[in-house]
Amino acid sequence: MDNASEAPEAPQIYLISPPSFELGRYPDMLARVLDSTEISCLRLNLASRDEDTLSRAGDALREVCHARDVAIVISDHQILAERLGLDGVHLNDASKSVRTARKALGPDAIVGSFCGASRHDGISAGEAGADYVSFGPVGTSGLGDGAVAETELFQWWSQMIEVPVVAEGGLTEDLIRTVSPFTDFFGLGEEIWNTEDPVATLSRFMAAMR
């Protein structure tokens, strides 16, 4: 069988919101990015634990995303995911609450699980019903406990496991080129929002995926 026919399609983009943003400005910037290229999902990833702040942000970003048929999930706040009419939840405690979230949100919701660099946690999350597993940081970033998700992890996962995988954290164009053949999604956040022109930065990253 010809290997070329087995080559995976280019990874999709999974956007991660900044940890804090101005409601007067960020939704417009997000809209520009969503209009510039195909995005599969946005994760509302605020550092704030204030329910009012999270709710207002969730409402504003849901409108932008749903108007463009882009799914939106929220980090950890399962109750708010339901209340705000979001598409699901992204859990940061490896596989611990996947089952609970799935039960609460039902079969159609998106339930994702961040598993650091742990193959074991990734497998457990998949078995518990996660729609995707996310590994990171791929590059050096403040994510997690200092462990880096190596290319080998994605390579192994793509060969052995059916559950879609997201590569995130500290991504650069070089890392994207390296990991591209082995991941379904790239989780991009600060890498684009912290630049002068997020649309241009994203298109450079996309070029590195091909």
Domain boundaries, the chain: 8-209
- pLDDT tens-digit series, residues 140-154: 855 556 789 999 999
Q: Evaluate if residue 207 carries a pLDDT over 80.
A: yes
Gap between the terminal Cα atoms of the chain: 23
CATH of span 8-209:
3.20.20.70
Q: Evaluate if residue 8 carries a pLDDT over 60.
A: no
In the prediction, which pLDDT does 9 show? Answer: 80
Whose CA is closest to 110, among 52, 149, 65? 65
Classify 88 as helix, strand or coil. strand
In angstroms, the CA 105 to CA 127 distance is 17
In angstroms, the CA 103 to CA 109 distance is 10
> pTM of whole model > 0.95?
no
Region 92-102: mean pLDDT is 95
Region 30-59: mean pLDDT is 97
Region 162-170: mean pLDDT is 97
